[in-house]
Amino acid sequence: MTNIYYTELSSPIGPLTMASTEKGICNITFGSSEKMLDTLKRAWKKHEPGSKFIYDENGGWLTQGRNELNEFFHSGRRNFETALDLRGTLFQKLVWRQLQQIPYGETRSYKDVAAAIGLPKSVRAVGGANNRNPIPIIIPCHRVIGSNGALVGYGGGMNKKEILLEIEGALHKL
């Protein structure tokens, strides 16, 4: 059985619920922990049935994750160093690792990401993996845009994507 620690933090894009195992941050969800705990439990039931969810502001990697997110939002942090505990298919993990290579303040299209992982015809599959990213912001799926340069799809809502890109100074480049 895995202990999953979670906490809630406020941010310029609204409340976030962040979860961590002993291995690393495993989930960031848009919304308060009260609203998002059931979603988190359903997601983890697939990976670790019987996991124990513990509200703890400092459990696992939550302290470092919270500090780095606050620095991103308020002090210009460009890279995240906190450990991650990624759960997904091999393809999803490949895409998520590639998303982490997109520099702060820059964007890439789904087509660019597909080409970067060596599967240029997998644009739709890249979109699907992007949509299932369990750790948005730290794994910067907000930096992925349409091939025409348009802002498209974001699990947290387009307004959050715009704010994140504005924080990074990337919005004016589109």
Of 80, 59, 84, 61, give the one whose Cα is nearest residue 71: 80
The answer, yes or no, to whether residue 173 has pLDDT greater than 80, is no
Tens-digit pLDDT profile for residues 31-47: 887 778 888 888 788 77
Q: What is the mean pLDDT of the chain?
A: 93
- pLDDT at position 159, please? 92
Q: Considering 16, 84, 113, 141, which one is annotated as catalytic?
A: 141
Which residues fall within 8 angstroms of residue 76, CB to CB, at 6 or more apart? none
User: Using CA atoms, how far apart are residues 89 and 50, in angstroms rounded to an integer?
Assistant: 21
Question: What is the mean predicted confidence (pLDDT) over 143-164?
Answer: 90
Inter-residue contact 143 to 99 (CB < 8 Å): yes
Three-state secondary-structure class, residue 131: helix
Tens-digit pLDDT profile for residues 37-92: 888 888 788 778 888 999 998 899 999 999 999 999 998 899 999 999 999 999 99
**End-to-end Cα distance, the chain:** 45
For residue 55, the Cα-to-chain-centroid distance in whole angstroms is: 20
Which of the two residues, 173 and 22, has the higher pLDDT score?
22
Residue percentage of the chain with pLDDT more than 90: 74
Q: What is the DSSP track for 17-29?
A: EEEE-SSSEEEEE
Question: What is the mean predicted confidence (pLDDT) over 136-149?
Answer: 95
Q: How confident is the model at residue 135 (pLDDT cuts 50, 70, 90)?
A: very high
Question: What is the mean predicted confidence (pLDDT) over 117-128?
Answer: 97
- pLDDT at position 128, please? 96
The DSSP bridge partners found for residue 52 are 3
Inter-residue contact 143 to 106 (CB < 8 Å): yes
Active-site residue flag, 26: no
Alpha helices, DSSP H only, in 117-153? 123-131
The answer, yes or no, to whether residue 174 has pLDDT greater than 70, is no
Question: What is the mean predicted confidence (pLDDT) over 134-142?
Answer: 97
Which of the two residues, 1 and 104, has the higher pLDDT score?
104
Three-state secondary-structure class, residue 4: strand
Token pair for 50:
């019987």
Question: What is the mean predicted confidence (pLDDT) over 129-138?
Answer: 96
- pLDDT at position 171, please? 81
Can you give the pTM of this predicted structure?
0.93
Of 28, 38, 25, give the one whose Cα is nearest residue 8: 28
User: Using CA atoms, how far apart are residues 160 and 37, in angstroms rounded to an integer?
Assistant: 21
| Domains located in the chain, CATH noted | 3-75 (3.30.160.70), 90-173 (1.10.10.10)
